[in-house]
A and B are shown apart, each in its own frame.
Chain A
Amino acid sequence: MDLTVEATKIGEVIEASTGKFTAQCYQLNQAPPLGSLVKVGSMPSEIFAVVYNIENHSLELGRRPIARGESEETEEGIFRANPQLSKLLCTDFNALVLGHRQADDIAHWLPPKPAYIHNFVYTCSSDEVRDFTQSLHFLSLLVAANLPTPVEEITAACLRYSSQAHDDPHAFLVKAGKELATLLSGDLKRLNSILKKL
């Protein structure tokens, strides 16, 4: 999914801690892309986070979905034949908190309070992405995070995604790369693996 001009409401927080939260999307399979920025809450206290994991699963944890499309021509046909499915399946995503809005400024450190359950989650508009990534201090939170998905993947995805919001995406990537080179000066393997994916 590309950047949008307007922020769009996509789901709600269903689990939250200071550094991470999980949100459920209103639409099945409509999670924001990996590495994209989302925000929680409304002005003046917004929390910004990066999507690091997306899961599609059954609403009831004990009930596994079963294969249904043997006689169907298309995948859409399955849903047409079983309209209840879209209510029994759901899409969740996990996001890593990278900063928050303090008064009018963006702070690249953790918010004093975590997101509330049922806080609405929005995708960020391209202006917001540009404002948030104007300073690259958020990278230190990102590269230091301990996540189930490889951090290098998330970092590279986040930078690729954010670069589209800038007038000169290449210059942004170089600037970010240099910031990473400083952060990872002792770990050139990680640096290399991120840079190769940019």
Chain B
Amino acid sequence: MEEEKNLGVVVSGSLNKGLEVKLDAATSVEDISVGSYVTIEGGKRRFFGMITDISLEATDNQIIHSPPDISNPLIAEVIAGTATYGKLHILPTLTIGGGATEILEGPQPVKSLPGHFSPVRRASPRDIELVFGKEDEKQFWVGTPLDMETKICLNLAEFVKRSNGVFGKSGTGKTFLTRLLLIGILQKRQAVSLVFDMHNEYGWEGGSEKGYKVKGLKQLFPSQVAIFSLDEEGSKRRRVSTDFIVRIGYDEIEPEDIQLLCQTLNLTDASVQAAYQLAHEFGDRQWLETTLSIKDKEETKELLSRLNIHESTYRNLRRGLEMLRRLPFLVPKSPDNPVQRILEYLDRGINVILEFGRYEDFTAYILVANLLTRRIHAQYRERKERALGEDTTPPRPLVITIEEAHRFLNPQLSNQTIFGIIAREMRKYNVTLLTVDQRPSGIDAEVMSQLGTKITCLLDNEQDIDSVLSGASGKSELKTVLSRLETKQQALVFGHAVPMPVPIKVREYGTDYRQFGQVDLSAVVSEAQQSQEAEDLWAD
């Protein structure tokens, strides 16, 4: 294989602050980009790192004050790399090869430094493969390094073990990235997914900013994905074949749900307390229906005085509840149990995508996502505990995808919502979150710190960047990389599922689906279905 040429030599540095590398005269500083990978050939082992900064240096400050005449090509050529030179800042992250541990266990976190004047090369595709692994049943190809055509893989087995986050400004490709991750989870069969699809982008088809439509999961993997919808008519209009129409009964709504909605419904604290009182009075399953059915003024008055609720508080609560009542998917009595149906699908290894149709407002999203997740989590918890007690197989790992995560996980609510609990307790009960958000600074710091793997597209708000990178080693270096990402199709991945922080060019999605078609479906799908699916994919 072709050996990559030397970029320069290590001249100084520290483990904490990274290495300084003097660029060889033959390498133009313009050919170097932040975020590229390099290997450093130490005396005993090889080090793997990332370029995090580039600077221009001069041996003598005199040259800065009286620059040489570079219109003379000879002078320009002589000065470059000698009196003036480029310097790279490299964050060493791993050691590869060399020691016995590295040979046995692969790349290890860096604990020493290469010596002075160790040569630095661009990482070869083989090095990248050695570090990030090959695509296999656990490793999912998510993208390529920024300046190479090698595959960078995410260890999905590790990925689904913890809650994860996808962040990025609006329009940076969060949805495409998330869709890709969901396909990965589905293909590698490391977990089943439940997606709360606020904008109907994951299930049937999504749109790109360029205006073309891209296929959703159901179109690619019809036998492994079920679409649940809150909005039957909307789904019909969009010609989406839905598997189940979700209706939620009043009896399913508990005062905790109202508490979560206090911001979106504009409820006061007193009104939330009143909801609890009413639930206590009428019972958890009947309170909403009963409260909404009270019309008589006298009756109301009597109830309020009995429960010692102020009238304005009641009016505030009642107005909020009326807003809920106007949601068409809320019915006094649900014909079916959506939680049970979702669990049935998940148990069969089928991923569920819940489309919100036209109910794109936060009231519906927060209410439904929270309500369903709470019950599903309770079921998982029970099953997991039973599995521990009886030594049977635990339930299949579940990844719940939520958008606009800061609405659920902000510091005020994260202690109350089920999502906060899931994010904190990690995979104890085999349920983890995939949070998608554009405003990570709005998410509780405690929750952020528990996220295993973070994948972040471009962010330009200082607070958001700080929040995403909090706790990451080499934070200031990563900050440079993060703020230099392009607005589209580039992301920084760091955390549990990758051996080192890695900026990637996200894999293409939406033009050629065949690459996603080579999947082993034999575990759940019959051969006939398989060939049908393959045909569908190849037909495009």
Contact = CB atoms under 8 A, between A and B. Distances in A.
Given A195-B68, A196-B69, A185 B60 contact: yes
B100 interface: no
Contacts of A196: 69, 72, 75
B11 interface: no
B25 A173 contact: no
Contacts of B60: 185-188
A182 B79 CA distance: 10
A68 interface: no
Contacts of A189: 62
Contacts of A198: 74
A187 B59 CA distance: 10
Contacts of A173: 74
Contact of A174 (B62, B68, B78): B78
Interface in A159-198: 170, 173-174, 177-178, 180-182, 185-189, 191-192, 195-196, 198
B79 A181 contact: yes
A181 B63 contact: no
A170 B25 CA distance: 16
Nearest to B25: A178
A3 B69 CA distance: 30
Name, among B62, B66, B81, the residue most crowded by chain A CB atoms within 10 Å (CB to CB). B62
Contacts of B25: 178
Given A174-B77, A186-B60, A188-B62, A181 B72 contact: no
B83 interface: yes
A195 B82 contact: no
Chain B interface mostly helix, strand, loop or mixed? Answer: loop
A177 B79 CA distance: 8
A170 B75 CA distance: 11
A5 B322 CA distance: 105
B74 A185 contact: no
Contacts of A187: 60
Contacts of B69: 192, 196
Contacts of A174: 74, 77-78
B83 A191 contact: yes
Contact of B75 (A182, A186, A195): A195
Contacts of B78: 174, 177-178, 180-181, 195
By size class, the interface of chain B is 10 to 19
A156 to B, nearest CB: 11
A185 B62 contact: no
A178 B74 contact: no
A185 to B, nearest CB: 4
A177 B77 contact: yes
B59 A195 contact: no
Nearest to B65: A188
A188 B72 contact: no
Contacts of A191: 83
Contacts of B83: 181, 185, 188, 191
Nearest to B81: A178
Given A177-B77, A178-B82, A181-B83, A195 B72 contact: yes
B74 A188 contact: no
A178 to B, nearest CB: 5
A173 B72 CA distance: 13
B70 to A, nearest CB: 11
A191 B60 CA distance: 12
Contacts of A195: 68, 72, 74-75, 78
Contacts of A181: 59, 78-79, 82-83
Contacts of B59: 181, 185-186
A182 B60 CA distance: 11
A45 to B, nearest CB: 35
A191 B83 CA distance: 10
A188 B82 CA distance: 11
Interface string A99-112: 00000000000000
A119 B475 CA distance: 71
Interface in A6-23: none
Nearest to A174: B77
Nearest to A171: B77
A182 B68 CA distance: 15
9 contacts: A178-B81, A181-B78, A185-B59, A185-B60, A188-B60, A188-B63, A195-B72, A195-B78, A198-B74
Interface of B: 25, 59-60, 62-63, 66, 68-69, 72, 74-75, 77-79, 81-83
The 6 lowest CB-CB distance pairs between A and B, nearest first, are A177-B78, A181-B82, A185-B59, A195-B75, A178-B82, A188-B62
